[in-house]
Structure 1
Amino acid sequence: MELSPGQTGAAGRARAALGRVAGDVESLLEAEREQLPLWIPAALGAGIAAWFALPRAVEWAALILASAGISLAALAMGRGGRAARAAAIAAGCVALGAALIWARAERVAAPVLGRPMVATFTARVVDLDRLPARGAVRLVLAPERGEGGLPPRFRLSVDEENMADGVAPGARIRVRARLVPPPTAAVPGAYDFAPVAWFQRIGATGRALDPVVLEAPAVADWRTRLASWRIGLSRHIQAALPDAEGGIAAALATGDTGAIPEDDNEAMRRAGLAHLLSVSGLHLTAVVGATMVMALRLLALWPGLALRAPLVLIAAAAGALAGIAYTLMTGAEVPTVRSCVAALLVLLGIALGRDAMTLRLVAAGALVVMLLWPEAVIGPSFQLSFAAIIAIVALGDQPLVRARLAAREGEGRGRRIARALAGLLLTGLVVEAALAPIALYHFHRAGLYGALANIVAIPLTTFVVMPLEAGALLLDAIGLGGPLWWLAGQGLRLLLGLAHLVAAMPGASAMLPAMPGGAFALVVGGGLWLALWRTRLRRWGLAPLILGMAWAAVAPVPALLVTGDGRHMAMRTADGRVALLRARVGDYVQDMFGELAGTDETALAFETLPGALCNADLCAATIRRGGRNWRLLATRSAYPVAIGALVRACREADIVVSDRRLPRTCTPRWLKADRPFLARTGGLAIDLDRGLVRTVAERAGEHPWTATNPENEMTAARLPARPSAHQ
C-alpha cells in the first residue's frame, strides 16, 4: 500500500521528532558519562527489592525474563548509542539482582520449626548476647544430633537468674524451653522477623522455662576466645561506668547495646541519635582515622623513614588492620562488616592516590555488599548508612557548596569556626532530609531536631568520648584508667542529657502511619536521581520525590488492625488515637499499634468509645466510616459464649473478629475473621472508608520463609467482596 504525500510527510516529521529526542538524550548522557556507572548498584538493588515486593514465583520469573529481554532488545536496536548501552546494562542489572536474591534465598534454606513445642534438649551455643537492661540473655543454639524435631539453628531467650555461669559461645548446655516458628508480621506494615530469620538460618525462637545446665564448657579456639574476651570487655566497661553511661560505652567498644535502659534508648531514637548506639560507618571512621593519624605522626618522627618509605600507604594499612580488628571485636555483625568493607575501599582509594571519598567508591562499596548479602538491601541499616554517605558526598560535590564553605586566606578564626559550623549544620540538614523517609517507612517515626542534636552529639562522641574510652582502656592495664573513665562518663552524661532534652521538646518527632511501598520507591528513586546526576538532568528527580511524599501524606490509614492470632484488635478513632480491644497488652503490642496509626498518644480502652458495649467476653461497637455505620463484634476471652446469643450478635454485625473458631452459623454481613480465616491471611488492616482489606499473606506470598511454615499457612484467603452502600 502506497502512502499519500500527507501521510509520508507526517511519518517523516514523526521520525525527525524522534531523532531529535534521541539526540537530546544522547547529549545528556554524554554530559553525564562519568555518572552512569553509579547507577549499576542502583539497578541491582531495584531488582533485589522487586523480588521482595512481588509475591509469586511466576512474577519473579517474569521480572527476570522481561528485564533480560529489554537488555537484549536495547543492545540489538541501539546501534551503539550510549542510551541503548545504558538501558541494556540497567535492565541486565535488574534481572541479575532478582536472580541473585532468589538464588540466595534458596541457598540459605534450612529447616523451620513446624508448630509450637516444649522440649528438653542439649545444644551448642553458637552466639550469646547479654541484655542486662531487660534482665535476659539471648542465645543462638545448634542442637546436638539426635534431638529430633528441632531445626539445626534457633534463638532462645533466657532470664538472667536462669543462666548458668561459664556459658559462652562453643559451650554445650541442656535446657527445657518453649519454641515457636519465627513470627511473621503481626499486622500489615509491622516488623516481619520471618525473612530476617530465614537469611540468618534461624528456624525457631523461644524462651527457656527452666534454669540452663552447663554440660560442657566451650572448646578454646580463636572464635570462643574472641567472644569471651568481648563479653569480658563489655562487663569491664559496665563496671567502670555504671548505669546507662556504661551501657553506651560498652556499645561503642563492643557493639553490645543490651545494657542501655529502654527509656534512654527511646530518648536517643526520638532525638535522632540512635545511630550512635550501633557500630556503623561513623564509629569505624573514627577508629580508622585516628589510627591513620597516629601512625603517620609516629612514623614521621624518623626522618630517614619518612624520606624513604610510603608513609601514607603504611598508615592506610594500619587503619585497615584497626578497622578489621574493631569489626571483629564488636561481633562482626553484618552491618558492621558492610561498614568495614566500605572503609577498606576508601583506604584502597587513598593508597592508589585517589580522592578519599567519592560517589564511585560509595557505589563500589554498595555493590560489594549487594553481591555478598543481597537481602541487606531491604533492611533499614543498609538504607540509612548508604543514604547518609551518599547525601554527604553528593553535597560536597556541589560547586556552590564547596565555594561557600571553603576556607579563605587571611580569614579570621571566628569566621573559620562559623563557616565550619554552617557546613556542619547544612550537612546535618541534608542528611536528616535523606534519612527521614527511610525512618518513616521502617519505624513510622523521624526526628525533627536530629540535625541540630547531631551537631553536638557526633563531635562529642567521635572526638571526646571514644578517645577518652580508648585511653581509659589502655591505662587500665596499669590501673590508672579511673580519671579518663570519669571524663568519659561526663561526656556520656552530657550526650544522654542532650537526648532527653531534645526528645522532650514539642514536636520532637514526626509520626506517619504505614507508608505505601510505591510511595517509598518514588521517594528513593527521586532522591537517587537528585544525588547521582550533575547536570540539569538531576532536576527531574524532584517530580517522583514530591509525588512520593504527597502519596505518603494522603495514603489512607486503616480504621481497624487485627493481629494474626485474633487476640488483639485496634481501632483508629476520629481524632487519630488508638482504642484497644483488650486492656492488658504488652508494651510491644501497644507501641506497634500506635506506630501504625501514626500516634504516640496513650491507647484508649475499647469500651470507652461512644457506641461501644463490652463485657468480659464480647465487645460490640458501632462506628461511622465511609458514609455508613459499621457494626463490630469481637471476642476477648477464652470462655464459652451462649451459642444462640452469639449467632444473633453475628447476624447483626458487619465484622466479627475472634481468636477462636466460630460456628458456621455465625454469619456477619461482610467479614468473619476467626481463627481459621486468620491462619490463612495473617494479620489484617481494614480500610472501612473504601471497604478494603489488606493481609500479611498478600506481602508474604510464595517467599520461602512462608512456604516452609505450616503453622502459618499464609495462603491467599478468599476475601469478601467490597460491601455495597445499602448493607
Structure 2
Amino acid sequence: MGLLLTGPVGLAGPAQLARALALAASAMLASVEARRGHLFPWTPVFLSLGIGLYFLQKTEPPVWALWACAGAAAVLALAARRLPELWGPLLIALALVAGGTALAGARAHLVAAPKLDHRVYGALEGRVLVLDRSISDAPRITLDQVWIERVPPDQTPRRLRVALHGEGGVTAPPPGARIAMMAHLSPPGAPAEPGGFDFRRHAWFQQIGAVGYANSPAVTLSPPEGGATLLVHRMRMALSDALRARIPGDQGAFAAAILTGDRSAMSRDTIQALRDSNLAHLLAISGLHMGLLTGVVFAALRFALALWPRLALRLPIKKIAAAGALAVGAVYLALSGGNVATERAFIMVAVVLGAVMADRRALTLRAVALAALIVLVLTPESLTQAGFQMSFAATTALIAVFAALRDRPADRWRPPRWAQGALAVVISSAVAGAATAPFGAAHFNQVSQFGLIANLASVPLMGLLVMPAAVAAACLAPFGLAVLGLEPMRWGIAWILWVAERVAGLDGAVWPVPAPGPAVLPLIAVGALFVMLWTGRARALGLVPILAAFALWSAVERPALLIADSGGLMGAMGPEGRALSKPSGEGFVALSWLENDGDRADQAMAFARPGLNGARGEQEATVAGQRVTLITGRGWAERIAPACMRGWVVVPQYVDDPPAGCRIFDRAALARTGALALFPGADGPRLVTARGVAGDRLWAQ
C-alpha cells in the first residue's frame, strides 16, 4: 500500500485506481443492461430514496430547490431517451431520486395549514369528522370547520383532535354533527426524546393543528349533516353498531373492527393480547382483509357464472368476476373508513384484478412496484409509516419467495398435492412474519416469540371461515337471514381471540427490543430489496447491509439520562433499567422512554428503581461526572442556588433571574430545545436536543 502512495511507483497509483473504478462502473452498467427487462420493480426504490432525502434534511429546503429537483428530474428523464441505452437506467434512477425529493416537498407545502403555537383553554365549535379512541382508551373525535375562542380565523387549525373524558365523554357525538365544548388545546406534541417519533410531522400531513381533551360534555348544535363522505361514515358507524348488537362483547367489537375499521369498542386487554401474540394485524383493514374479501367474491362470482354454460361459453367470466370483486373492494374501502392502510390494500388489489382483466399475470413484483408507485405519488409521507413498510415488505417477500419456488427445476422435490395447501400456509406465515419482524420491532419495540404459532392457528381461519361468512351475511341480510353468516363468523372470531389470549399468556411470549438507530431500517430495506429484486449470485451482496444493520442495532446506545420537554420528568439509566422521577403523570412520555429502552416495566415500577438520588422535589443523577438536579414542588425558587453549586439544574418553571454561571433548563429553555438526552463522553456528558435532531422543518416551526 505504501508503494502506491510514495516513490516513483506512486505516480501510477491514481491512474490504476481510476482504471479500477472505471472497470467496476463498466461492469455495473453492463450488469444493469443485462437486466433491462427486470428493472421496473426498482422504480419505487429510487423514488423512495428521493422522498427519504427530503425527510432527512435538518432544515426545510427552499421552494426554489424543490423546483430545481423537479427540473433536474425532467431533464434527466429526457436525457435518458437520447443517450446510449447503457446510461439510460442510471439517468432514470437519478431522475426518480430528484423527483421523489420534489414530490415530498410539494406534498408538505400543499397540505400546509395553521396550527396552534400556544396552549388554549376555552370554547370551541366544530363538525365531527372521525370517531376513534385515544391511548388512554377515551373516546376521541376529530373536528373540522373549527372555531376557537380568542384565536383569530387565520390562525385557527383546519382540523383538531379532542379526547372526551369524564361523564360527557362516554357517548361521542355522531359524525357530521356540529358540536360545542370547553376544551384544553395545545400544539401537536414534539418527540418525547431526541430522535423519537415526531407526532408533529404525522399531524402536519393530516392537517391537524391542535390536540387536547375535554372534561365537560359536548353540546350538539346541529344534527348530522354533510356530503357523501360523512354520509358513508355514518353508514359505517351504523353497521358497526349493528354488528356489535348481533355479536356481543369483544367478538362483536372484533367483527366491527375488521369490517368497518371501528375499534372503539375493543377492550385494551384484548388489543394487548393481540399485539403480544402478533395477531394485531388482523384488526387493521389491510392487504389480508382486502385480499381475502375480494378473493372470496372473485371465486364466488366466477363459480356462479360458470354454472350457466351459455354465459360461460360466450362471455369472459373471469374478467367479469374480477370487475365485480373490484367493485366490492371499492365499497369495502368506503365502509372501512378509507384509512391509509386500506387505501394501500385497495390499490394493490386493483392492480392485481386489473392485470386479470388485461390477461396479464397478476401477482408479480411489477404489480407490487406499480402499487407502491401509486401510493408514494399520492402520499409520499407514507414511506415513513409502519403500515407502508410492513405491508409492502410482506407482499414483496411473499411474491419473491413463491416465484422462486414456482421456478424451481422440475427435478427438485415437490410436496404431494394434498400437502401443498398446508405447506403454503406455513411458508406464507413464516415469510410474512420474517419480512415484517424488523419493522415491527423497530416501530413497536417488541418481537412476538410465538407469533408464527398464533398466525398458523388463526390466519387460515380468517380466510376459510371469517371472511366468507361475512360475505354470506352481507348477501343474506336483505332477506333477514344475516344470522346464518354472522354465527359462523362469531365462531371463527372466538377461536382467534382464544388463541391470542393463550399465546400472549405464555412465558416469554414477548421479547422487548430497544429502538434502533436511524440507519438500521434503511440498511435492512436496501439489503432485502437487493436480495429480492436482483438476479444471479450477486444478490447475496444484499446480506452485507442487512448484517451491518443488525450489528448496529445490537450495539445501540440508549441515553444515560432523559429529560422531558416539560421539565417535569427525568429518567436515569440505572442497574435495573431506567429509573423515573415520579410514579404517575406524563405517562405517554414515560411509556415512550421505557418502550424505546426495550423495557416492559410500567411507570410505577420504573419509579421504584434505583438510579436517581434524593427525594421527590429534588432528585439528582450523574452522567460522566456531571450532576443534574431536577427541582419541583413548593419552594423551588429558593432551592435553585444551592443546586447550581452542584451542577446543572432542571426546573419545570420560568426562572426570571438565574444565578450567574448556572446552567438551567427551565420551561423557556426547554421550549427552545425540546426533550434532552445525555450520553456519557470522554470529556463530560454529550447533550443531544430533540430540536437539534428534528431540525427546522415546516411541522417543527
TM-score between both structures, scaled by the size of structure 2: 0.90
Instruction: Give the partner amino acid of 1:510.
Output: W
Q: Secondary structure at the match of 2:143?
A: strand
Residue 25 of structure 1 contacts residue 83 of structure 1 at CA under 8 Å; is this kept in 2? no
Maintained 8 Å contact 1:582/1:605: no
* Equivalent in the alignment of 1:281: 287
Q: Is the 8 A contact 1:464 1:488 kept in 2?
A: yes
The one-letter code sitting in structure 1 at the alignment partner of 2:360 is: R
Q: CA deviation at 1:135?
A: 4.5
Quote how far apart the aligned CAs of 1:143 are: 2.1
Q: Work out which of the residue numbers 665, 690, 695 in structure 2 matches 1:701.
A: 695
Aligned to 1:717: none
CA change 1:289–1:642 in 2 (3 A) is: closer
> Which consecutive residues of structure 2, in runs of 5 or more, have no partner in the other structure?
1-7
Question: Where do residues 639-658 of structure 1 align in structure 2 (5 Å cutoff)?
Answer: 639-641=634-636, 643=638, 645-653=639-647, 655-658=648-651
Alignment partner of 2:367 out of 358, 361, 365: 361
The answer as to whether partners of 2:654 and 2:666 remain within 8 angstroms in 1 is yes
CA distance in 2, matches of 1:222, 1:69: 41
Q: Is structure 2 residue 296 aligned with structure 1 residue 303?
A: no
CA–CA distance in 2 between the matches of 1:578 and 1:533?
Answer: 44
* Letter of the 1:692 counterpart: R
Deviation at 1:649, TM superposition (A): 2.0
Residue identity matched to 2:57: L
Change over 3 Å in CA distance of 1:394–1:221 after alignment to 2: same
CA contact (8 A) 1:472 1:485 kept: yes
In structure 2, the CA distance between the partners of 1:211 and 1:166, relative to structure 1 (3 Å rule), is closer
Could you tell me how far apart the structure 1 residues matched to 2:549 and 2:136 are? 39
Given the superposition, is the C-alpha separation of residues 17 and 115 from structure 1 closer, same or farther in structure 2, using an over 3 Å criterion? Answer: closer
**In the alignment, what sits opposite 1:41?**
44
Report the counterpart of residue 240 of structure 1 in structure 2: 246
Please report how far the alpha carbon of residue 319 of structure 1 lies from its aligned counterpart in structure 2 after TM superposition: 0.8
- State which of 326, 336, 339 in structure 2 corresponds to 1:330: 336
AA of the residue aligned to 2:627: R
Counterpart of 1:640 in structure 2: which amino acid?
G
Does the CA-based 8 Å contact 1:581-1:636 persist in structure 2?
no
Q: Residue type of the partner of 1:28?
A: S
Stretches of structure 1 lacking an aligned partner (at least 5 in a row):
708-727
What are the within-5 Å matches in structure 2 for residues 53-202 of structure 1?
A: 53-58=56-61, 80=83, 84-129=87-132, 134-143=137-146, 148-149=151-152, 150-159=156-165, 161-162=167-168, 167-202=173-208
Summarize deviations over 1:196-235 as a string: whole Å, max 9, x none. Answer: 2111111111222322222211236533332221111101
CA contact (8 A) 2:643 2:649 kept: no
Q: What's the secondary structure of 1:215's corresponding residue?
A: strand
User: Which SS does the other structure have where 1:558 is aligned?
Assistant: coil
| One-letter amino acid of the structure 2 residue matched with residue 542 of structure 1 | L
Q: Distance in 1 between matches of 2:370 and 2:80?
A: 30
Mapping for residues 458-607 of structure 1, pairs under 5 Å: 458-482=459-483, 484-575=485-576, 577-585=577-585, 587-603=587-603
Q: Which amino acid aligns with 1:380?
A: A
Instruction: In structure 1, give the amino acid aligned to 2:632.
Output: R
Q: Which stretch shifts more, 23-32 or 5-14?
A: 5-14
**2:628 maps to which residue?**
632
Work out the CA distance in 1 between the residues paired with 2:210 and 2:82.
54
* Paired AA for residue 696 in structure 2: E
One-letter code of the match for 1:278?
Answer: A
Q: Distance in 2 between matches of 1:448 and 1:164?
A: 37
* More deviation, 386-395/211-220: 211-220
2:350 corresponds in structure 1 to: 344
CA distance in 1: counterparts of 2:16 and 2:618, whole angstroms? 72
1:661 matched residue in structure 2? 654
Counterpart AA for 1:438: F
Once the two structures are TM-superposed, the CA of residue 673 in structure 1 deviates from its matched residue by 2.6
Question: Is this contact kept in 2: 1:227–1:331, CA < 8 A?
Answer: yes
| CA-CA distance at 1:450 after TM superposition | 2.1
Q: For residues 556 and 9 of structure 1, do their structure 2 counterparts lie closer, same or farther at Cα, with a shift above 3 Å needed?
A: closer
After TM superposition, the structure 1 = structure 2 runs for residues 372-383 of structure 1, keeping only pairs within 5 Å, are: 372-383=378-389
Q: In the alignment, is residue 429 of structure 1 matched against residue 444 of structure 2?
A: no
Change in CA separation of 1:81 and 1:397 when aligned onto 2, cut-off 3 Å:
farther
Q: CA deviation at 1:30?
A: 3.1
Distance 1:464 1:404 in 2: 35
CA shift for structure 1 position 483: 5.6
What displacement does 1:344 show? 0.6
Tell me which amino acid in the other structure corresponds to 1:39.
W
- CA apart distance, 1:699: 3.3
CA 1:434–1:668 in 2, change beyond 3 Å: closer, same or farther? farther
Paired residues of 1:571 and 1:579 also in contact (CA < 8 A): yes
Checking the alignment, whether the CA contact within 8 Å between 1:51 and 1:98 is kept in structure 2 is yes
Return the TM-score normalized by structure 1: 0.87
8 Å contact from structure 2 (residues 570, 580) kept in 1: yes
2:4 corresponding residue in structure 1:
none
**Do the aligned residues in 1 keep the contact of 2:578 with 2:609 (CA within 8 Å)?**
no
Q: Distance in 1 between matches of 2:245 and 2:391?
A: 31
Cα distance in structure 2, aligned partners of 1:63 and 1:544? 30
Q: 1:221 to 1:489 in 2, by over 3 A?
A: same
Q: Does 1:21 align with 2:21?
A: no
Measure the CA separation in 2 of the matches of 1:76 and 1:477. 59
Conserved? CA contact 2:276–2:448, under 8 Å: yes
Q: 1:32-85 CA distances to partner (integer Å, 9 max, x unpaired)?
A: 222222111111111111211111135997799689879979998999555532
- 1:253 is aligned to 2:259: yes
Q: Which residue of 2 aligns with 1:684?
A: 676
Report what 1:371 is aligned to.
Answer: 377
User: Contact conserved, 1:133 with 1:260, CA < 8 A, in 2?
Assistant: no
Please state whether the residue corresponding to 2:37 is helix, strand or coil: coil
Shift of 1:688: 2.2
Q: Could you tell me whether the CA contact under 8 Å between 1:651 and 1:666 is conserved in 2?
A: no
Task: Tell me the secondary structure at the aligned position of residue 34 of structure 1.
Answer: helix
- Equivalent pair of 2:583/2:603 in contact (CA under 8 Å): no
1:661 is aligned with what amino acid?
Y
CA contact (8 A) 2:584 2:603 kept: no
Sequence identity, in percent? 31
In 1, the alpha carbon distance for the partners of 2:35 and 2:564 equals 49
Q: What RMSD in Å do the two structures reach over aligned CA positions? A: 3.3
- Aligned AA for 1:44? L
Residues 504, 656 of structure 1: alpha-carbon distance in 2 compared, 3 angstrom cutoff: farther
SS in 2 for 1:204: strand
Deviation track 1:272-322 (CA, whole Å, cap 9, x = no partner) reads 111110100111111111111111111112211111111111111101100
Q: How big is the shift at 1:362?
A: 0.5
Q: Judge conservation of contact 2:293–2:471 (CA < 8 Å) in 1.
A: no
Q: Is the 8 A contact 1:656 1:668 kept in 2?
A: no
Q: Per-residue displacement from partner, 1:155-208 (whole Å, max 9, x unpaired)?
A: 222248426989433322222222111112121243322112111111111222
Specify the alignment match of 2:220 in structure 1: 214
Provide the residue aligned with 1:712 in structure 2: none
Q: Deviations over 1:339-378 (max 9, x none)?
A: 1111111111111111121000100011011111111111
1:67–1:91 Cα contact (<8 Å) kept: no
SS at match of 1:114: coil
| CA separation of 1:493 and 1:591: change in aligned 2, threshold 3 A | farther
Contact 1:578 1:604 (C-alpha < 8 Å) held by counterparts: no
Q: Which one-letter code corresponds to 1:660 in the other structure?
A: Q
Q: Following the alignment from structure 2 to structure 1, what is the Cα–Cα distance between the partners of residues 139 and 57?
A: 38
Aligned residue in 1 for 2:664: 672
Report SS of the residue matched to 1:185: coil
Residue 57 of structure 1 aligns to a residue whose secondary structure is: coil
Q: 2:398 aligns with which of 392, 397, 400?
A: 392
